[in-house]
Amino acid sequence: MRTPIIAGNWKLNNNQEQAGDLAQQIVEAAREVPEVEVVLCPVYTALETVRRVVEHSPVKLGAQDMFWEESGAFTGEVSAPLLKDAGCSLVIIGHSERRQFFHETNETVNRKVKAALAAGLIPIMCVGETLPEREAGKVEAVVSEHMLNGLAGLSSGEISKVVIAYEPVWAIGTGKNATPDQAQEVHQLIRKLLAKVSGPETAEKVRIQYGGSVKPDNIKTLMAQPDIDGALVGGASLKAETFIPLVKFKG
Ligand code: 13P
């Protein structure tokens, strides 16, 4: 059985005070659902604030990106060992906003995934097509490319630790979520690709999150799909009243 994983990607939102207050409310809710893994990914400057709040709680701390080198002359960057040192257990890699605005490629995603694993961080590797790609019938091609290049050179043992987030770009922040059937279709493809690169046993272990306009009113049907193991949430993770129902999706 795969442990459900609900992660809040706060993106460029929440100062230290807002982050601390929100994290506190999430911690209380998460204690009531120990069977669900809850992750909060604040901006770097709020990591320490959130770390203090989630310490000794079931909630895990994640970062939104990292660089693949450990240290050196890379002004403005943060490395995997430093995120680990800051209390992170997970890190989002290859989010579509980073691909779109910051020139992230499948090759840089692959380097980052490897560096994250080497430092003992769990990468949440994001994959997903844009609207023109979907309309051109390229979903399978794009998602396969993201998956196979992103995971290139990893052992089955390493792949078993990775979390995949399927985030169709057209569903992010648009209020237009993929239907549970559309999402399941791609999640099934992702699991097939995982089986191809790491064998069926590993593929069964890997958790695949859906992301893109996940809200309290659609989480249940999404999570009911056999290959949807969690959610990576943007907008609805910014308020306790919309994120707590996601954490408690079973209730
Ligand atoms: P929304 O939930 O705001 O659509 O964002 C999804 C996302 O990008 C999470 O990483």
Q: Does the reported pTM lie above 0.95? A: yes
Q: How high is the pLDDT of residue 204?
A: 98
Average pLDDT over every residue of 27-53: 98
Average pLDDT over every residue of 135-161: 98
Q: What percent of the chain has pLDDT over 70?
A: 100
Q: Write down the mean pLDDT value for the chain.
A: 98
**Domains of the chain from N-terminus onward:** 5-247 (3.20.20.70)
Average pLDDT over every residue of 219-246: 98
- State whether the beta carbon of 9 lies less than 6 angstroms from ligand 1: yes
Point out the ligand 1 atom lying closest to the alpha carbon of residue 96: 8
Point out the ligand 1 atom lying closest to the alpha carbon of residue 173: 4
- Cα of 60 vs its chain's centroid, Å: 12
Nearest to 156 by CA among 121, 218, 95, 204: 204
Q: How high is the pLDDT of residue 177?
A: 86
Point out the ligand 1 atom lying closest to the alpha carbon of residue 215: 2
- State whether the beta carbon of 119 lies less than 6 angstroms from ligand 1: no
What are the residue numbers of the active site?
95, 167
- State whether the beta carbon of 150 lies less than 6 angstroms from ligand 1: no
Average pLDDT over every residue of 98-125: 98
Average pLDDT over every residue of 134-162: 98
pLDDT reading at 1 higher than 90: no
- State whether the beta carbon of 128 lies less than 6 angstroms from ligand 1: no
- Long-range contact set of residues 14-22: C-beta below 8 Å, sequence gap at least 24: 14/42, 14/43, 14/46, 14/238, 15/45, 15/46, 16/45, 16/46, 16/49, 19/43, 19/46, 19/49, 19/50, 20/46, 20/49, 20/50, 20/52, 20/53, 22/238, 22/239, 22/240, 22/243
Q: How high is the pLDDT of residue 28?
A: 98
For 31, 87, 151, 159, 246, the CA distances from 56, given in Å and listed in that order, are: 11, 12, 32, 28, 22
pLDDT reading at 114 higher than 90: yes
pLDDT reading at 176 higher than 90: no
pLDDT band at residue 12 using 50, 70 and 90 as cut-offs: very high
Q: How high is the pLDDT of residue 172?
A: 94
